C-alpha cells in the first residue's frame, strides 16, 4: 500500500468518506497541516517522500522535479495547469483528475456572480455596512446578452442555467465547433418559450450562437469565463481586450487566475466605474492585492467548487482513483 499526502485544502471538511476509503484500503494518509493552500516550495517539502499526492491547484513542478518515488497524482478538480504533465510522463508518474464532479457547483456559482454583478448585490451589502442606503439600480439577465468564453462541461451547464432567465441571446466563444451543443440548447430555449406562452406571456426564445472573442467582448452585457489556463489563454484578457467591453459590462472568472491580467483589470475598473468584475480565482492565492480597493469588484475565495455535495464527490473520486490505481483497476489517466 502507499503513503499518501493530501495537499489540497480543505479535505474531508463535511464528510470523512474519502479519508476513510483511503485508510480502510491500507494507505497511510497525511493531510496538509497548514490549513491553507500550499505554496510550491511547501508542497515539495511536505510531500517529498510520498508515493501519492492528492492535490488541489498547487503548482507541483518543484515536487515532481525533486520526488523520486512519486507514482500517482490525483487531482481534486478539473484543471491541470498546475501539473507539469510532460515531466510526469518523463518520470513515469500517473495523473488522474475529477472533471465531472466540479461542474454543477462551478456553473451555479458563475451564474450567481453574474446576478450579483448585474444587480449590485455585494455593493449594496457594503453600503449598508457603511451606514448608506442608495438602493442602487442594476440590470436583469432577462433581455440581456450573455457571453460564455469556453463551452466545455461547465460552459454548457452555465448556458442551460441561463435559459430560464430568458436572456435575449447567449454568445459562445470556443475553439471547437459547438454547433451540435448549441442546437440542442436552442431546442430547450424554444420549449421555454412555449411554457411562457402557456402562461400568457409573449417572449422570443433566447438566441444562441457561436462568435469570435472580439464579437463576444463587444456585445455582451455579462461575460463568464470557462477556459483552462494555458500558454494561449495566459493574459488573454489584457488592456486591449478589456477596452472592447461595454462600459457597464460584468466580467466573471471562475476558471483560473492569469486568464485576466489583474493589473490591467485594476486600471480598467478604476477608470470605468459602471463596469464590474467578479473573480473567484487569482494569480496568487490567498489574494490580497489592489483589486480589494475597488467598489466595482466582487472577490471570492476560489470557492466555485465548494458546495458540500460537489466537494464530497470530488474528494471521493480522487480517493477512488488512488485505491483503484493500486488495486490494478481501470483508472482514467491523463498520463
296-228-286-77 Cα dihedral, nearest 10 degrees: 120
CA pair distance 78, 191, nearest whole angstrom: 32
The arrangement of secondary structure in 103-299, i.e. its CATH architecture, is: 3-Layer(aba) Sandwich (3.40)
Predicted local confidence at residue 202, as pLDDT: 83
- Cβ neighbors of 113 (< 8 A, separation 6 or more) are 224, 252, 254, 278, 280, 298, 300
Alpha-carbon distances, residue 195 vs 166, 188, 234 (angstroms): 12, 11, 42
40 with 59: CB under 8 angstroms?
yes
Tell me the whole-structure pTM to 2 decimals. 0.94
Q: Is 28 helix (H, G, I), strand (E, B) or coil?
A: strand
- Orientation of helix 17-24 relative to helix 308-327, angle to 10°: 10
- Across the chain, how many H-helices and E-strands are there? 12, 12
CATH topology of domain 3-101+307-327: Rossmann fold (3.40.50)
CA pair distance 89, 93, nearest whole angstrom: 6
118 with 250: CB under 8 angstroms?
yes
Q: What's the residue count for the chain?
A: 335
Cα angle for residues 290, 296, 297 (degrees, 5° grid): 50
CA pair distance 101, 79, nearest whole angstrom: 12
Indicate the burial class of 238 (C-beta count within 10 angstroms; 0-12, 13-18, 19 or more). Answer: middle
Predicted local confidence at residue 197, as pLDDT: 87
Predicted local confidence at residue 58, as pLDDT: 96
- How far is C-alpha 132 from the chain's CA centre? 33
Predicted local confidence at residue 199, as pLDDT: 86
- How far is C-alpha 42 from the chain's CA centre? 24
CA pair distance 187, 305, nearest whole angstrom: 29
- What single-letter DSSP state applies at residue 258? T
Pair type for strands 72-75 and 52-55? parallel
Backbone region of residue 155 per phi and psi (left: phi > 0; alpha: psi in -120 to 50; beta: other values): alpha
- Per-residue pLDDT of the chain (335 residues), as tens digits, is 899 999 999 999 999 999 999 999 999 999 999 999 999 999 999 999 999 999 999 999 999 999 999 999 999 999 999 999 999 999 999 999 999 999 999 999 999 999 999 999 999 999 999 999 999 999 999 999 999 999 999 999 999 999 999 999 999 999 999 999 999 999 999 999 999 888 888 889 999 999 999 999 999 999 999 999 999 999 999 999 999 999 999 999 999 999 999 999 999 999 999 999 999 999 999 999 999 999 999 999 999 999 999 999 999 999 999 999 999 999 999 99
- Cβ neighbors of 143 (< 8 A, separation 6 or more) are 166, 167, 168
Cα angle for residues 126, 223, 242 (degrees, 5° grid): 90
Q: Is 225 helix (H, G, I), strand (E, B) or coil?
A: strand
What residue ranges do the domains of the chain occupy?
A: 3-101+307-327, 103-299
DSSP string over 108-175:
HHHHHHHHHHHHTHHHHHHHHHTT---------STT-EEEEE--SHHHHHHHHHHHTT--SEEEEE-S
- Alpha helix (H) ranges present in the chain? 17-24, 40-46, 61-66, 85-91, 103-119, 121-129, 153-163, 179-198, 213-219, 239-242, 262-271, 308-327
Amino acid at each position: 500500500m502507499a503513503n499518501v499526502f493530501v495537499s489540497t485544502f480543505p479535505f474531508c471538511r463535511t464528510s470523512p468518506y474519502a479519508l476513510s476509503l483511503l485508510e480502510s484500503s491500507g494507505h497511510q494518509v497525511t493531510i496538509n497541516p497548514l490549513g491553507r493552500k500550499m505554496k510550491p516550495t511547501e508542497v515539495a517539502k511536505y510531500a517529498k517522500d510520498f508515493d501519492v499526492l492528492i492535490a488541489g491547484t498547487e503548482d507541483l513542478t518543484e515536487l515532481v522535479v525533486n520526488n523520486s518515488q512519486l507514482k500517482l497524482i490525483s487531482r481534486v478538480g478539473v484543471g491541470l495547469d498546475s501539473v507539469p504533465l510532460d515531466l510526469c510522463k518523463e518520470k513515469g508518474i500517473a495523473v488522474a483528475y475529477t472533471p465531472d464532479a466540479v461542474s454543477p457547483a462551478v456553473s451555479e456559482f458563475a451564474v450567481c456572480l453574474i446576478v450579483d454583478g448585474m444587480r449590485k448585490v455585494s455593493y449594496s451589502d457594503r453600503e449598508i455596512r457603511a451606514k448608506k442606503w442608495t438602493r442602487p439600480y442594476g440590470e436583469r439577465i432577462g433581455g440581456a446578452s450573455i457571453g460564455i468564453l469556453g463551452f466545455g462541461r461547465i460552459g454548457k451547464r452555465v448556458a442551460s442555467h441561463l435559459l430560464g432567465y430568458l436572456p435575449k441571446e447567449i454568445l459562445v466563444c470556443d475553439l471547437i465547433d459547438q454547433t451540435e451543443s448549441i442546437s440542442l440548447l436552442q431546442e430547450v430555449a424554444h420549449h421555454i418559450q412555449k411554457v411562457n406562452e402557456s402562461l400568457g406571456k409573449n417572449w422570443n426564445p433566447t438566441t444562441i450562437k457561436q462568435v469570435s472573442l472580439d464579437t463576444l467582448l463587444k456585445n455582451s452585457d455579462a461575460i463568464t469565463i470557462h477556459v483552462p489556463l494555458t500558454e494561449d489563454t495566459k493574459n488573454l484578457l489584457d488592456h486591449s481586450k478589456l477596452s472592447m467591453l461595454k462600459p457597464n459590462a460584468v466580467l466573471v472568472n471562475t476558471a483560473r487566475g492569469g486568464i485576466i491580467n489583474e493589473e490591467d483589470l485594476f486600471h480598467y475598473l478604476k477608470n470605468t466605474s459602471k463596469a464590474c468584475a467578479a473573480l473567484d480565482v487569482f494569480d496568487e492565492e490567498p489574494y490580497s492585492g489592489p483589486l480589494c480597493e475597488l467598489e466595482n469588484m466582487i472577490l471570492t475565495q476560489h470557492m466555485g467548487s465548494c458546495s458540500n455535495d460537489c466537494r464530497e464527490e470530488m474528494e471521493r473520486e480522487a480517493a477512488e482513483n488512488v485505491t483503484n490505481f493500486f488495486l490494478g483497476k481501470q483508472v482514467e489517466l491523463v498520463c
